[in-house]
Amino acid sequence: MAADKLTRNLAQALEADSAEGEDPVPHLARLIDRLRPSRFRPETADARIRILLDLLDARPDLLERLRELIARLFARYDTLPFYTETGILPDRGFARELRRRIGNHLLPEVRDESDFITALRRIFRKSFDPRWLAVLEPEIRREFWLRIGAAAPLSVTRVARIHARQAEAARLLACRCAVWGEHPEARRLNPREPQEDSPFLALAGDLDAWLRARGDAVPPLEGLAACRRVVRETQERARQQGTTLSLTLLLRRLSQSLDRLELLMLLLDEARARNLPGTVEAWTRFVASALRDSVCRDSVRDYLRETTGVLALRVTENASQTGEHYIARDLRELSAMARAALGGGAIIGVLALGKILLHHQGLAPAVQALAYGLNYGLGFVLIYLLGLTVATKQPAMTAATLAAAVDEAHRGGGWQRDRLRAMLAAVVRTQSVAILGNVALALPVALLLAWYLGAGGEGSAITREDAAYLLRDLHPLQSPVVAHAAVAGVCLFLAGLISGYFDNFARFRRIGDRVALLGWLRLLVTRRGATWLGAALERRLGGIMGNLLFGLMLGGAGFIGFIFGLPIDIRHVAFASANLGYALGALDFGLDSTTLAWVVLGVALIALTNLLVSFVLALWVALRARNLGLRAMFKAWWG
């Protein structure tokens, strides 16, 4: 019954009268309004289009009518941007394009009414149209365009105009590829011999010669393949030597333009050969991406997902390489991790005392936050440089390693489910050992220092009031322990991204070579010493900056809460265990068993929340950077 009603509505939309020179957009928009599925059931789009195809088979007059409307749409509007801009990142720069899209949401842009893309946006005018367009089956798309192509042929003049516009678009794309392919940033990563010709410039010349040729001339697909090889080599070197957002977007744009150029060449070649199935196949592939992109050209979410995804992949790849060192696979590596965690716990016990002492200095809030941050940050840097470890900093690194393994399994690589499960088990064991190592020494170091300082006594550095305050902060019923631990987890996650960013930055900017060129440093430590320092800094810059900024985030969280009047603070498991030690020392272990049990539970909740929040966020970013979701992860791990 519903199918019969839809058939009648579609027939009525196509039977509406229109003059020869009338704008086809209102008529096509009316048809799409009838065809559009429910917002909540985009998956029904295939069935609705199948009903349209059955109607066109039963009514050849309506098929001819629809073909005429589409032909008039291509004849009336400028299609060049449709061929050369849709599905390709704009060449405006990241910040400028982001501002444009946000601005268009706040104040709609006055569009060029002669633009084909504007016409498409008038036809597909609902905000959820991109959703159902994206889930259409390729076979349904192909069948639709086969019927349109098999209808009564268009006039020679109309066909010639369409092909001329496609040829012009191909020339324009080839010229853009030549410019982008010879960009200085790309050339620096992939230099060639002075006498070697540019494959991008050669492609532009070969394409023009092919478009001018007649008969059985072959499109320059070999030249296009050579350009793709250069792009892949440049991307591979960018992985090794680092990249920037501008270079990442440039290579992405270049790759997209080469893909579009290949489609246009295939489309023109099949049209020359009058091969309808081949023409429809190439056209269907082109329209699948171009149509959706035309409808959602101002989407901020889509733009951020596409532009930051590739850069996030580079950053998380750096993190995954670091994460390999945080996964212990045998007893020897577990012992090494335990020793590193014990050493880190000892230093954290001292850092916790530093914060307590700074609290008594009567500093202004902003100065106090900076002092807290430097206390934490410089301490974390010291731990890092000594080769020790802070347990909860590891999940952000190991999550990226797991995501890389899931990606390899998803692409059919050599990874097997048993190996993935073994890696996950190794991660859990390593994290457990690291946490226990930190806590096992942070707590006794705090107790020892509290005893040495005479904590709890008159005029002591750690008073009984301090002890009550520290215990209240760890009690899950007296303070939002889990929420504060989650804030610390977010900071841990950000620290992992920061480390990856600065690793990438150091490689791309060649920090080691630049430090080695400093004249004053050469005078101080000789050329060899400057070279060694530069290499060491390049190798460790990510870790240094990640740890330093992580400490500043921990120190500044409470100050941000103070400014906005919000209960924002941080709870970190290693510092929580040290604070418990100082409180017990100040109270001379005069703490009832019930309160002690609640506080120990609070420390355990802090540990669990620190790990889960930082790990889940880091894993989510790493998977999204590889265009994977949680479904791919579960499939790779558990089938």
Instruction: Compute the distance between CA of residue 567 and CA of residue 418 in angstroms, rounded to an integer.
Output: 44
Q: Kindly report the three-state secondary structure assignment for every residue of 422-446.
A: HHHHHHHHHHHHHHHHHHHHHHHHH
pLDDT tens, residue by residue, 21-30: 688 999 999 9
**All residues at 6 or more sequence positions from 366 whose CB lies less than 8 Å from its CB, including other chains:** 559
Nearest to 248 by CA among 310, 302, 183: 310
Superfamily the domain 320-506+550-638 falls into: Glycerol uptake facilitator protein. (1.20.1080.10)
At residue 324 the predicted structure's pLDDT band, cuts being 50, 70 and 90, is very low
Instruction: Compute the distance between CA of residue 530 and CA of residue 270 in angstroms, rounded to an integer.
Output: 61
Instruction: Compute the distance between CA of residue 405 and CA of residue 411 in angstroms, rounded to an integer.
Output: 10
Cβ proximity of 341 and 394 under 8 Å: no
**285-289, 344-348, 482-486, 569-573 — which is least confidently predicted?**
285-289
Q: Tell me 391's DSSP state.
A: G
Instruction: Compute the distance between CA of residue 631 and CA of residue 635 in angstroms, rounded to an integer.
Output: 6
- What average pLDDT score do residues 439-444 get? 93
Instruction: Write the burial class of residue 169 (CB in 10 Å: 0-12 exposed, 13-18 middle, 19+ buried).
Output: buried
Coil, strand or helix at 406: helix
**233-247, 259-273, 387-401 — which is least confidently predicted?**
387-401
R_g over Cα of the chain: 32
pLDDT tens, residue by residue, 120-145: 989 998 888 888 888 889 899 999 99
- Give the pLDDT of residue 296: 78
**321-330, 339-348, 372-381 — which is least confidently predicted?**
321-330
Unique residue bearing structure tokens 């100050």: 559
263-294 in b/e form (b: 16+ CB < 10 A) is: bbbbbbbbbbeeeeeebbbbbbbbbbbbbbbb
Each domain of the chain, given as residue ranges in start order, spans 320-506+550-638
